[in-house]
Amino acid sequence: MRVFVLTGAGVSAESGIPTFRGKDGYWRNLDPTKLATPEAFARDPQLVWDWYRERRQRIRTAQPNAAHEAVARLAQQTDEFLLVTQNVDDLHARAGVAAEKMVQIHGDIFITRCSRCDFSYGGRGGSPEPPGACVVQPTNRRLRSIATTSERDLNVPTCPKCQALMRPDVVWFGEQLSRNELERVEDFLDGGACDLVIVAGTTATFGYIIDWTLRASQDGAHLIEVNPEETPLSRFATRLVREPAAIALPRIVDELRNSGAL
Ligand SMILES: [Zn+2]
C-alpha cells in the first residue's frame, strides 16, 4: 500500500485548536488571516508574537484526538506513507507519526527563526517560553493593561547572530512554501502511484492541496474525502464522508485493516 494523506485545521479543531476561519478564530477581536501576514509582523511584531505565544500555549495543553491517532496507526502500518498537514501544531507528531513520514507544509509553530538569516531554535514539543512570555490574564482590567505593557517590553525576541527580529517558523499568507518541504512532497508523488488518498478536515482552499491530491489519485487511487462540508475536491472523491475526522478516520482505518489492505 502506498498512502498519501492530507489534513487541515478541521482535524486539530476537534482538539480545541481554533481554526482561522469563523468566529472562534478571532483573537482580541482581530482576524487571524490578517495577523498571520508579513505585513502585520512588520507593523506590530509584539502583537503577532502575543498571538503566537497564546496559540503555542493552547497547543501544548491540547491532546491529539482520535483522528490524529488513526492517521498515526495508518502511518505505522503502511510501508510507503506520507502525511502532508497544513497544521502547524505538533498533534500528529505526538500521536505517533514519525517526522520522516510527515510534511508540515505551513511550518512548525514551535520553531522560532530569524526573519533575516538562517538562525533558528526550538523544535517539536517546544521548549518552555522564556520568563514572562506566558500570557498573563488578570481578571482586573487595570492589571491586564499593566501586564500587557510589561510583555511588550520583554517579548520581542531578536536574533543572536544578526539582531533582526525572530519570528515563528510558519508560512504566512502571501509567503512562499518552504522549498525543502515542497521537494519532499514532490519526491513522494514522483515515487509511484498511490493506492489510497485521504483528505481530511480541510476545505482545500489552497491550489497546491488540490493539485497534490489530484496528482496522487490520478492513477486510479481510492480518494476518500472526510469533511463535514463540500470542497473543491468532493467531485473527484471515490468516497465522501460528511463527518468530523475524529469520528470518521478511526472507522476508515479499522475498515482498511479488517479488509486486509493494511
Ligand atoms: Zn539572524
User: How many whole angstroms separate alpha carbon 228 and alpha carbon 201?
Assistant: 8
**pLDDT tens profile 55-105:** 999 999 999 999 999 999 999 999 999 999 999 999 999 999 999 999 999
Confidence (pTM)? 0.87
How close is the Cα of 157 to the center of ligand 1, in Å?
11
Residue 206 has phi, psi (to 5 degrees) of -90, 135
Annotated active-site residue 106? The verdict is yes
User: How many whole angstroms separate alpha carbon 116 and alpha carbon 256?
Assistant: 46
How close is the Cα of 123 to the center of ligand 1, in Å?
17
Q: Sheet of 120-122: strands edge to edge?
A: 120-122, 107-114, 166-170
How close is the Cα of 28 to the center of ligand 1, in Å?
30
- With 90 as the cut, is the pLDDT of residue 145 above it? no
How close is the Cα of 122 to the center of ligand 1, in Å?
15
Q: Which residues surround ligand 1, an ion (CB under 5 A)?
A: 114, 116-117, 119, 159, 161-162, 164
pLDDT confidence tier of residue 23, bands split at 50, 70 and 90:
low
**Over the chain, what is the mean pLDDT?**
88
CA-wise closest residue to 11 among 64, 52, 61, 55: 64
**pLDDT tens profile 171-219:** 999 999 999 999 999 999 999 999 999 999 999 989 999 999 999 999 8
